């Protein structure tokens, strides 16, 4: 099987709680290669585009406000079956339902403050990687 790329993000709640290094260590311990990593703040415009699929949902404004509330770490991760492997390591969206040993079980506090994000499919990974790392990862045409 060939290496696959996925997009990953450490969210403001995890960074504020001082868990960035612990999450990065978990990523490396699970065999991912961090191809790109960037720490910074997401602008409101970028956040609205990033969460555009949820624009009509009642929680859209909360998502944008939360993700722009502090720094985030955005990453391109490589591994065989990276998309599913990262989703498995992240755990369930609701940390209370996440399995032991997952990032969200260890560092998430609730469904809104769940520490990390990851692409859910190859198309989403290409879109998210292209959005943040266009010099390396462009959407398939």
H-helix or E-strand containing 132? helix 122-132
Query: CB–CB of 63/51 below 8 Å?
Result: yes
Give the residue ranges of DSSP H helices in 7-121. 12-16, 20-29, 44-50, 60-67, 82-90, 103-107
State the catalytic residue, choosing from 30, 41, 54, 117: 117
Give the tokens for residue 57.
């949902």
Question: Whose structure tokens read 């992240």?
Answer: 90
Active site residue 117: yes
Tell the burial category of 57 from Cβ atoms under 10 Å away from its Cβ (0-12, 13-18, 19+).
Answer: exposed
Q: How far is CA 137 from CA 15, 34, 84, 132, 133, in A?
A: 25, 14, 19, 8, 6
Active site residues: 117
């Amino acid at each position: 099987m060939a290496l696959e790329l996925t997009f990953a993000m450490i969210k403001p709640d995890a960074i504020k709680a001082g868990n960035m290094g612990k999450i990065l260590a978990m990523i490396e311990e699970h065999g991912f290669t961090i191809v790109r990593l960037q720490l910074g703040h997401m602008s409101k415009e970028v956040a609205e585009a990033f969460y555009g699929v949820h624009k009509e949902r009642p929680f859209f404004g909360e998502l944008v406000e939360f993700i722009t509330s502090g720094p985030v770490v955005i990453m391109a991760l490589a591994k065989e079956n990276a998309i599913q492997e990262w989703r498995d390591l992240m755990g369930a969206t609701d940390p209370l339902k996440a399995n032991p040993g997952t990032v969200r079980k260890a560092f998430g506090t609730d469904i809104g403050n769940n520490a990390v994000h990851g692409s859910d499919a190859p198309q989403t990974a290409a879109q998210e990687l292209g959005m943040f790392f266009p010099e390396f990862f462009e959407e398939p045409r």
